Structure 1
Amino acid sequence: MEQCDRRAAIGTAAALLASGATVMAGSAPARAESSGEQARESFRVVDRRGRQRFLASSSKPPVIIGGRTYPADQRQGPEGTYLIFNDGDGNEKGGIVASSVGASLSLDYTNAQAITMATRWEGVHGAALLEMKHMPDPALPIDQVPAMPPRVQLGYSTAEGAFLVLSDSRGRPRIVLEIDGDDQPVIKVLDSEGQVVGRLPETPAERLATLPPVIN
């Protein structure tokens, strides 16, 4: 996956260069101690209008959306290596983040994250998640967008097993498919209050409730 993401990033930068983009170094070069190569904290590609189209940074970068630049402290995510992809207007539309405890790939709506694929680990424990979120009003500025609820979550963790959760527009789980940490499968349908209204396999109590009454 890392190799595939690296090829995609390099291919994107190459395509921008071929279309007349300009490469700009984000910081003054410094001599790398180990290899003798020049080290840079960031690498930026801009088009002929000066709009950012791609950024590689060794620290959390600012966010460019709707023609505005928001400071790095408004960006979600850990400190780490960032690869940022921008559209023809310079607006951020996705990126790749790699830190010491995890990595993620995200694709964006106009003003919010749409899809996130992430992994995280600590010792012998790890988790991986694919999440699709509800789309906000695209006219809202980024600093006015409320937290968008997830609509689809497909994941795995060493502690909880594998799961698929389908949620309604308010982020309430309504259908859950799960294979827990003990390899036991279950399918649950929930109402708007979070109560289970259907389940496979049935619990012992549910099976008893479906049995015909005993006639003496």
Structure 2
Amino acid sequence: MEQYDRRGAIGTAAALFAGGAAMVAGAGPAQAESSGEQARESFRVVDRRGWQRFLASSTKPPAIIGGKTYPADQRQGPDGTYLIFNDEDGNEKGGITAASTEASFSLDYANGQAITMATRWQGANGATLLDMRQMPDPALPVEQLPPMPSRVQLGYSTPEGAFLVLSDSRGRPRIVLEIDGDDRPSINVLDAAGQVVSRLPDAPS
């Protein structure tokens, strides 16, 4: 059986989203004209109990999950602007990140990311991805979470086109729909080992 080559479907998108640290930094921001307003790095909204409900920050902030505060260096994501949304218990439930070469919006389960919509770009190449992850055991603290596999990935990259990947509970792609960079469509059904068991159109002999 044919072994499916995932590079054609998610090559550039995967490279861009996995290689954030290797991105070429864009030009520095233009200096804004002074308006007399006092500069501040963050703006925080708290409720009557003093619990955080919203945070706008120009630096990577700590994360509050399950009533515990995790330092900023344990948060994934670039240095940039962060808008963080918290629930009625002060726990983080989503946010928006904006940086010079990427931007993202995410919504969370009780103890981990659920949906991320993100884009990254480098020179003339760019990629965008909608990633839906499997829900972990909500009773587990963040430190004990196993890797949460992606179940649905819908994306596009400049040279390689558009794709939809549906994966099983172990994160193994099982159905891949693709329109590659040359506008050729394909549908591949895979077994657990990544072997193609069905393909449309049929692969050339």
Q: Same fold (TM over 0.5)?
A: yes
Q: Give 1:33 deviation, angstroms.
A: 6.8
Which residue matches 1:129? 129
Q: How does 1:153-168 map to 2 (within 5 A)?
A: 153-168=153-168
Question: Is 1:47 the counterpart of 2:61 in the alignment?
Answer: no
Letter in 1 for 2:123: G
Q: How does 1:1-216 map to 2 (within 5 A)?
A: 34-205=34-205
AA aligned opposite 2:60: K
Question: Which whole-Å deviations, capped at 9, do the CAs of 1:11-66 have from their partners, x for residues lacking one?
Answer: xxxxxxxxxxxxxxxxxxxxx87332211100000000111000000000001011
Percent identity between the aligned chains?
A: 80
SS of the residue 1:38 aligns to: coil
CA distance in 2, matches of 1:33, 1:101: 24
- Structure 1 stretches (4+) deviating beyond 3 angstroms? none
Partner letter of residue 73 of structure 2? D
Q: Quick one: which amino acid aligns to residue 141 of structure 1? A: P
Report the residue type matching 1:148 in the other structure: M
How far 1:204 moved relative to its partner? Answer: 2.3
The structure whose Rg is larger is: 1
* Higher normalized contact order (CA 8 Å, seq sep 6+, divided by chain length): 2
TM-score by length of 1: 0.79
Which residue matches 1:3?
none
Distance 2:186 2:87 in 1: 42
Instruction: Work out the CA distance in 1 between the residues paired with 2:139 and 2:203.
Output: 47
Question: What's the CA shift string for 1:65-120, capped at 9, x where partnerless?
Answer: 11110101111101100000000000000000000001000000000000000000
Structure 1 CA distance, aligned partners of 2:53 and 2:200?
A: 49
SS at match of 1:203: coil
User: Tell me, what secondary structure is at the counterpart of 2:90?
Assistant: coil
**CA distance in structure 2 between the partners assigned to 1:62 and 1:87 by the alignment:** 16
Name structure 1 gaps, 5 residues minimum.
1-31, 206-216
The whole-number CA distance in structure 1 between the counterparts of 2:185 and 2:152 is: 19
- Give 1:143 deviation, angstroms: 1.4
Give the total of aligned pairs. 174
Q: Secondary structure at the match of 1:140?
A: coil
For 1:198 and 1:33, the matched residues in 2 are separated by 60
**TM-superposed deviation, 1:188:** 0.3
Separation in 2, partners of 1:56, 1:50: 16
- Tell me the TM-score normalized by structure 2: 0.83
CA distance in 1, matches of 2:181, 2:33: 46
- Unmatched 5+ stretches in structure 2: 1-31
Look up the SS of the partner of 2:73 in the other structure.
helix
- Give distance in 2, aligned partners of 1:49 and 1:36: 33
